Structures are given as structure tokens and as C-alpha cells.
């Protein structure tokens, strides 16, 4: 395993970090409901530590994640060998007293008395930061650090670049976490934000390196996959994406939500061979070509994070967007089947036209997707006369079983 030194405190961090949100596999709703196999997650965590991964990222809102991580680290005596990163659920906080309430719950779930890297989850703008300052967040963090309960204090970000740059200057952060991948260098914090954070001596942790899996395997448009294959048939699309990140000196840790041993093995191998400035000019040209293909193919840059869920009217928003992207990036017939299977042929209907445009989803979307308008487009694409006929039939043959 390759490691990078945190310039702030000397921590030796594995360049590959374990993102603990996706224990539920491709079904992110499983991750947020805690409906994953804890024994399988335990074995993956154990294997990761034994192969040199020492940075584990979880959060209060990842149901079951903190518990299984804490239990596993205690069971195998790994606590002193790893760095735990977890996050304060700002979307649930209503006043200053909530800070201590949720922090105490972190410690209980993780079976520890300190957090190595503690983040404010989804701090997206100065308005929110100013509210937290009114609550005394600076003093609160200082007290926790003085007591040894928090080692490093930072934030994860999903917002506009100008807000990120302002937040960097608003406080002496120990580190930060941003969404960053080759599909859009200027989205959210972007390369400008990455470089500014690094110039302040801050470790930068990267989330969504594969854009929720869209930059890997079968989810990548065929033309883009063929472009990678022509450049080097021995490197998988996922490996290309990770190598692009490892190539940049400002990147400290790349988080990956690994839910299969094969994924873990591949990502470890990639990390072991990672080097700064390892990409050739020809390989960088390949990324530019793939980026153009990808961005022209995908309609909605939804990562499937499920922060928009549950919809009060029953719409399965991520499933709708996945099918919509499949229609344009991969195959129309496959998309139609996918849409019907995921939104119609189940216990409860969850198709796009159920949207009542209440807007609750958009308040929580890290990608700032205009969800209501996009769902309207999805309905126009998929909910044809044939779909409506099938919908009528399911009232009698599916939900009356």
C-alpha cells in the first residue's frame, strides 16, 4: 500500500480509503436502511486493514455503518491501527445541544472514545457555517480537540465552488473532503478548490471517484469504454479513474465504497502501483476524449446517494434517473425494462409521474439537480401508452397477490 503524510500532524494515511456508505452494494437504499450483510462487511473491513488500508470513512446517517465498523475494529484489535473518519449530520441538527447528542452517539456506535478525522457533513455554504458559528461550533470543536475526543476537524462539501473557496478562508480547517473525478474537473469544489485547499497544507480526501459507479464497468458508455480499451486493454475503466486521481499531488486519500472482495483486491492493487505524475501525455488525451463522450451521453449526473429519499409521494428518484441515463448512454430497450422493473413491477409504484413537485428532494440533493423538472422529462420519455397500459394491469395482477 502507498501512503501519504498528513502535513498537519504527520499521520501516515493510505492513499486508498474505505468509504463505508456502500456496504449494501448497488442498492444504496440498503446502505441507508442498514439492510446489508454485517458479516460480509466485517470480512471486507478485516481484509482491508490486513492489506494496509488505514483510513475508514463513515457517517451518522449511513444506517448500520458506524456500528459494524466499530464492532469489527474492536473484535480484531484494529482500533489503534486505523484512522476513523465520521460526520456530524447537519441536516438533523436543530440547535447547539444536538452537537453533543450526535457526537455521543458516534462514540457509542464506533465503540471508541475519540474520532481521528471528524467532519461536518455536507457543509455547503457560508450561511450554514455562520449559523453554526452562532451556535458556538468553533468553541465546541476546540473543546473536543482539547479533550482528545477529536483529533482533526474538517468538513465534507457538496455545493458551488465559490462557497467552497469562501469556507476554506472562514476557519483554520484541519482537512476537507470533496467530490472529484475526471468527468468534471470544475464541478463543485473542482480542481481550483482542490489546489487551494492543498496550498493551505490541508489533506484533501476524495469521494465519488467513480461518480457512484458510473465511471466503471458496464455503467460506462460503450464508446467511452472502447476508448480506454484502445489506449490500454489491460487497465479497467475503474483503474483509469483511480489513476487519474492518484496522478495529482494535491490528492491525499481516495475513498472507495467497496462491497465485494474482488473490488477491494483490484483497488488495492491500483493503489499499490499509484504514483504522482505517472500519466503520460497520451493517457491524459485519452481522459479528455472519454470525458467528452461521457458528458455527452449522460443526462443526469446523479450519483445515487439517496439523500433525496424517501420521497413523500413514493417516487424512487435514483431509480428513475438511472433508467434515464441508461436510455441515452447504453441501450433504449434495456432502459425501458429497467424503468418498469424498478418503478412499476414491485409492491408499491414509484414512477416519475407520481411527483407532486413539493421540492423536498431538491433541498437535500448534493448535486443540485433540478429534480422536479428532470422527473417530468423522465415521465415523458418512459410513461408512454404502453407503460400506462401496464400500470393499469399491475393494479390487479401485481399488488393484489
262, 295, 328 — which closes off a domain?
A: 295
**Average pLDDT for 98-105:** 96
Is residue 302 one of the residues assigned to a domain? no
- With contact defined as beta carbons under 8 Å apart, do 328 and 298 qualify? yes
In this prediction, residue 293 carries a pLDDT of 87
Q: Give the residue with greater pLDDT, 377 vs 367.
A: 377
- The verdict on 342 and 218 lying in the same domain is no
- The verdict on 74 and 198 lying in the same domain is yes
- The verdict on 221 and 348 lying in the same domain is no
The yes-or-no verdict on residue 182 having pLDDT over 60 is yes
Q: Distance between CA 393 and CA 326 in Å, rounded? A: 25
248, 264, 295 — which closes off a domain?
A: 295
Q: For 240-253, what is each residue's pLDDT tens digit?
A: 999 999 999 999 99
- The verdict on 290 and 335 lying in the same domain is no
241, 260, 295 — which closes off a domain?
A: 295
Is residue 238 one of the residues assigned to a domain? yes
Q: How wide is the angle at C-alpha 150 spanned by C-alphas 207 and 206, nearest 5°?
A: 10
* Among candidate residues 317, 259, 322, 263, the one with its CA nearest the CA of residue 31: 259
Q: For 15-52, what is each residue's pLDDT tens digit?
A: 999 999 877 554 444 444 556 788 999 999 999 999 99
- The verdict on 57 and 196 lying in the same domain is yes
Is residue 26 one of the residues assigned to a domain? yes
pLDDT band of 400, cuts 50, 70, 90: very low
In this prediction, residue 391 carries a pLDDT of 59
The yes-or-no verdict on residue 394 having pLDDT over 60 is no
Q: For 192-226, what is each residue's pLDDT tens digit?
A: 999 999 999 999 999 989 987 888 877 788 889 99
Q: Give the residue with greater pLDDT, 77 vs 299.
A: 77
* Among candidate residues 62, 54, 38, 41, the one with its CA nearest the CA of residue 259: 41
Is residue 311 one of the residues assigned to a domain? no
Place of cell 424498478: 342
In this prediction, residue 295 carries a pLDDT of 78
* Among candidate residues 134, 151, 131, 157, the one with its CA nearest the CA of residue 83: 151
The yes-or-no verdict on residue 258 having pLDDT over 60 is yes
Place of cell 438533523: 92
Residues in CB range of 80: below 8 A, 6 or more apart: none
Alpha carbon distances (Å) from 1 to 13, 45, 249, 265, 275: 10, 15, 17, 12, 11
- The verdict on 355 and 220 lying in the same domain is no
The yes-or-no verdict on residue 89 having pLDDT over 50 is yes
Residues facing residue 14 across a β-bridge: 3
Number of helices (H) and strands (E) in the chain: give both, helices first. 17, 10
- The verdict on 376 and 289 lying in the same domain is no
Is residue 247 one of the residues assigned to a domain? yes
Pairing label, strands 12-14, 3-5: antiparallel
Q: Distance between CA 290 and CA 236 in Å, rounded? A: 13
In this prediction, residue 401 carries a pLDDT of 36
Q: Distance between CA 176 and CA 118 in Å, rounded? A: 10
In this prediction, residue 319 carries a pLDDT of 84
- The verdict on 291 and 366 lying in the same domain is no
- The verdict on 326 and 286 lying in the same domain is no
- The verdict on 254 and 329 lying in the same domain is no
Is residue 102 one of the residues assigned to a domain? yes
CATH code of the domain covering residue 43: 3.20.20.100
Q: Distance between CA 331 and CA 230 in Å, rounded? A: 22
- The verdict on 271 and 331 lying in the same domain is no
CB atoms within 10 A of CB 345: 13
Mean of the per-residue pLDDT values for the chain? Answer: 88
In this prediction, residue 217 carries a pLDDT of 73
Total structural domains in the chain? 2
* Four-residue CA torsion sign, 216, 371, 131, 170: positive
Domain residues for the domain of 329 are: 317-397
- CA torsion angle for 335, 339, 345, 347 (degrees, to 10)? 150
Is residue 14 one of the residues assigned to a domain? yes
In this prediction, residue 399 carries a pLDDT of 39
Q: For 220-241, what is each residue's pLDDT tens digit?
A: 888 899 999 999 999 999 999 9
Is residue 157 one of the residues assigned to a domain? yes
The yes-or-no verdict on residue 71 having pLDDT over 90 is yes
- The verdict on 234 and 329 lying in the same domain is no
Amino acid at each position: 500500500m502507498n501512503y501519504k503524510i498528513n502535513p498537519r500532524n504527520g499521520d501516515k494515511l493510505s492513499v486508498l480509503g474505505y468509504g463505508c456508505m456502500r456496504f449494501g452494494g448497488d442498492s444504496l437504499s440498503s446502505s441507508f436502511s442498514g439492510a446489508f450483510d454485517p458479516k460480509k462487511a466485517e470480512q471486507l473491513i478485516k481484509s482491508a486493514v490486513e492489506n494496509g488500508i488505514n483510513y475508514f470513512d463513515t457517517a451518522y446517517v449511513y444506517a448500520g455503518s458506524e456500528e459494524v465498523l466499530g464492532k469489527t475494529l474492536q473484535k480484531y484489535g484494529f482500533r489503534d491501527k486505523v484512522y476513523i473518519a465520521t460526520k456530524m449530520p447537519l441536516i438533523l441538527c436543530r440547535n447547539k445541544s444536538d452537537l453533543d447528542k450526535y457526537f455521543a452517539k458516534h462514540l457509542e456506535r464506533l465503540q471508541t472514545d475519540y474520532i481521528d478525522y471528524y467532519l461536518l457533513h455536507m457543509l455547503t455554504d457560508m450561511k450554514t457555517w455562520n449559523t453554526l458559528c452562532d451556535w458556538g461550533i468553533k468553541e465546541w470543536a476546540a473543546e473536543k480537540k482539547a479533550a482528545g475526543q477529536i483529533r482533526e476537524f474538517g468538513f465534507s462539501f457538496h455545493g458551488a465552488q465559490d462557497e467552497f473557496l469562501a469556507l476554506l478562508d472562514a476557519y483554520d480547517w484541519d482537512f476537507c473532503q470533496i467530490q472529484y473525478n475526471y468527468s468534471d474537473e470544475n464541478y463543485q469544489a473542482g480542481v481550483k478548490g482542490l489546489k487551494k485547499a492543498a496550498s493551505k497544507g490541508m489533506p484533501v480526501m476524495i469521494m465519488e471517484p467513480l461518480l457512484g459507479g458510473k465511471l466503471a464497468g458496464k455503467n460506462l458508455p460503450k464508446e467511452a469504454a472502447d476508448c480506454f480499451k484502445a489506449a490500454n486493454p489491460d487497465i479497467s475503466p475503474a483503474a483509469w479513474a483511480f489513476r487519474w486521481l492518484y496522478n495529482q499531488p494535491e490528492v491525499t486519500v481516495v475513498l472507495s465504497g467497496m462491497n465485494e472482495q474482488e473490488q477491494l483486491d483490484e483497488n488495492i492493487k491500483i493503489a499499490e502501483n499509484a504514483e504522482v505524475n505517472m500519466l503520460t501525455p497520451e493517457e491524459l488525451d485519452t481522459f479528455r476524449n472519454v470525458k467528452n463522450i461521457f458528458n455527452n451521453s449522460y443526462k443526469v449526473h446523479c450519483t445515487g446517494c439517496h439523500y433525496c429519499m424517501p420521497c413523500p409521494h413514493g417516487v424512487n428518484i435514483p431509480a428513475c434517473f438511472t433508467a434515464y441515463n441508461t436510455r441515452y448512454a447504453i441501450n433504449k430497450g434495456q432502459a425501458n425494462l429497467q424503468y418498469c422493473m424498478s418503478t412499476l413491477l414491485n409492491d408499491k409504484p414509484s414512477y416519475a409521474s407520481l411527483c407532486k413537485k413539493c421540492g423536498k428532494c431538491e433541498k437535500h440533493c448534493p448535486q443540485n439537480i433540478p429534480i422536479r423538472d428532470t422527473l417530468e422529462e423522465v415521465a415523458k420519455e418512459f410513461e408512454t401508452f404502453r407503460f400506462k397500459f401496464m400500470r393499469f394491469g399491475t393494479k390487479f395482477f401485481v399488488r393484489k397477490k
